[in-house]
A = this chain, B = another copy of it.
Amino acid sequence: MTEVEAKKPQESLQDRLAQVVELLHKQKLVEDLAHRQEGHHRDLVEHLVHRQNLAELQRKLDELHSADVAHILEALPLEDRLTIWQLVKAERDGDILLEVSDAVRETLLADMEDHEILAAAMEMDADELADLASELPRDIVHELMETLDAQQRERVRSALSYEEEQVGALMDFEMVTIREDVSLEVVLRYLRRLKELPGHTDKLFVVDHEGVLKGVLPVKRLLVNDPEKIVREVMATDPVSFHPDEDAYDAAQAFERYDLISAPVVDKNDKLIGRLTIDEMVDLIREESESEVLNMAGLREEEDIFASVWKSLRNRWAWLAINLITAFMASRVIGLFEGSIEKLVALAALMPIVAGIGGNSGNQTITMIVRAMALDQVSTGNTSRLLRKELAVSLINGLVWGGVIGLVAWVLYDSYSLGIVMTAAMTLNLLLAALMGVLIPMTLARMGRDPALGASVMITAVTDSGGFFIFLGLASVFLI
């Protein structure tokens, strides 16, 4: 997509959002007026006012960077969102569609005519098309492919042939390639002939006549070295490069670790086939951490916060249902001990403490582990070591906090034996929490699943049922 030099935003995003909303409402007011009133004259006035407001809104939007318009669209309820979307200049549709979140894009595409979508898509690069293809109507994608030249079509196909989380799906094809046997002077003249360089060009790719990557020429070196020098003398040989089937998130971490801005993507024969750029990687890092947060809370996907109630329900039901089952199991555990509870009703009041603290402590452990795994700091290898540490932490927490609550129970119900059972149960449940807090994510990882997936729901299930069983069990044995 053609690159726009970002202009300094005059006001904060929040301010701009507020202004747009205000204009929107002014305009709605006028519309309502129009509906309630008759008479050609009034109509005319209303018409003018209305037009004027729209024009003002239009002007505001035209001033904004596409990314800002995208942000505003995301922050508006559906109805207002579409009003704004209608006002956006057609030639910016493509840019903006690429900026908004999937959830919001869906609502925008649903509001567009096929020919509008087609027009927007026409302006996109091969890799951008590939990103969107899955969300576009089948027939439109076909029509699009027709319009593309062979090379473009080939690129779209190849990009589509990779999984979403593979490097191949994120690479673009806007690379400047040079030969290693020319002088920097020649390179500089070549660049001038190009008129424009692709975004994030911090290095030129040095390839031989078969397109095999020989090295990269950082623009920095191009600028500081004597133009008489030959590319070969100045270029960096064996730079960080990636394969299209590598995991994109690993690539993102490499970008972060080595402070890369762009990097070559090569096939198994070292042939240059594309490049990765930091902007894609930043988005990926952001998405990864988001999905981690969402997964732990048991949400299926990022949710457009103004999504319909129905959409939200679909997004949340899966885990709620699972949670319902686990909660029911916990309830049955208690059912086993109804006899004891009837005899000593204090148990009913104290058991949620044991379960609750266990859940909280377990969530702390599992959060730590999931984070560390996401950062590649723990492999399933050092499980046992982590386990020892977490168990030690839990033991101390159990004895200390369990002791405190045990004393309270003793005083409250005037039974030291009840206090001791309480302390014992707390300690055991915290140990269980630590055990599962380490094992759940490790096991998910071993199974090749996302270690964060519903972690919080699962750990809570264990600490609830476990906590009730341990506490009521001990009580039945020693108190009843």
The chain A residues found within 8 Å of chain B, CB to CB, are: 5-9, 12-14, 17-18, 65, 67-68, 71, 74-75, 77, 188, 191-192, 194-197, 199-202, 218-220, 222-226, 236, 238-241, 250, 254-261, 278-279, 281-283, 285-286, 289-290, 292-294, 296-299, 302-303, 305-306, 309, 312-313, 316-317, 319-321, 323-324, 326-328, 330-332, 334-335, 338, 341-342, 345-353, 355-357, 359-361, 363-364, 367-372, 375-379, 381-382, 385-386, 389, 392-393, 396-397, 401, 404-405, 408, 456-457, 460, 464, 468
Kindly list chain B residues whose C-beta atoms are within 8 Å of the C-beta of A201: 220
Given A309-B392, A353-B327, are A320 and B361 neighbors across the interface (CB < 8 Å)? yes
Nearest B residue (CB) for A397: B320
Q: A323 near B13 (CB under 8 angstroms)?
A: no
Nearest B residue (CB) for A308: B389
Kindly list chain B residues whose C-beta atoms are within 8 Å of the C-beta of A352: 327, 330-331, 334, 352, 355, 464, 468
Q: B378 near A293 (CB under 8 angstroms)?
A: no
Cα distance A291–B371 when bound, in Å?
10
Q: A6 near B260 (CB under 8 angstroms)?
A: yes
Kindly list chain B residues whose C-beta atoms are within 8 Å of the C-beta of A347: 348
Cα distance A319–B356 when bound, in Å?
12
Cα distance A7–B239 when bound, in Å?
5
Kindly list chain B residues whose C-beta atoms are within 8 Å of the C-beta of A348: 334, 338, 341, 345, 347-348, 351
Interface of A, secondary structure class, is helix
Given A239-B6, A312-B389, are A297 and B401 neighbors across the interface (CB < 8 Å)? no
Q: A5 near B218 (CB under 8 angstroms)?
A: yes
A to B CB contacts below 8 Å, 29 in the list: A8-B240, A9-B240, A9-B254, A65-B257, A67-B258, A71-B377, A194-B224, A202-B202, A285-B285, A286-B289, A292-B293, A293-B296, A293-B367, A293-B371, A298-B363, A299-B368, A305-B368, A305-B372, A313-B393, A316-B393, A319-B360, A320-B397, A321-B401, A327-B357, A330-B352, A331-B352, A334-B349, A334-B352, A359-B460
Q: A364 near B331 (CB under 8 angstroms)?
A: no
Cα distance A339–B275 when bound, in Å?
71
Measured CB to CB, the closest approach of chain B to A184, in angstroms, equals: 10
Number of copies of this chain that the complex holds? 2
Given A357-B324, A371-B293, A456-B363, are A376 and B341 neighbors across the interface (CB < 8 Å)? no
Kindly list chain B residues whose C-beta atoms are within 8 Å of the C-beta of A389: 306, 309, 312
Given A71-B376, A282-B285, A285-B285, are A331 and B349 neighbors across the interface (CB < 8 Å)? yes
Kindly list chain B residues whose C-beta atoms are within 8 Å of the C-beta of A218: 5
- Interface residue from B196, B236, B369 paired with A224 (Cβ < 8 Å): B196
Q: A290 near B356 (CB under 8 angstroms)?
A: no
- Interface residue from B260, B353, B377, B457 paired with A74 (Cβ < 8 Å): B377
Kindly list chain B residues whose C-beta atoms are within 8 Å of the C-beta of A191: 223-224
Seed contacts A297-B363, A316-B364; 13 additional CB < 8 Å A-B pairs: A12-B250, A67-B258, A71-B376, A201-B220, A256-B286, A286-B289, A303-B368, A305-B378, A317-B397, A320-B364, A324-B357, A330-B353, A341-B348
Cα distance A405–B331 when bound, in Å?
11
Kindly list chain B residues whose C-beta atoms are within 8 Å of the C-beta of A18: 381
Measured CB to CB, the closest approach of chain B to A76, in angstroms, equals: 9
Measured CB to CB, the closest approach of chain B to A269, in angstroms, equals: 16
Kindly list chain B residues whose C-beta atoms are within 8 Å of the C-beta of A279: 256, 259
Measured CB to CB, the closest approach of chain B to A377, in angstroms, equals: 5
Measured CB to CB, the closest approach of chain B to A362, in angstroms, equals: 10
Cα distance A12–B188 when bound, in Å?
36
Q: A75 near B356 (CB under 8 angstroms)?
A: no
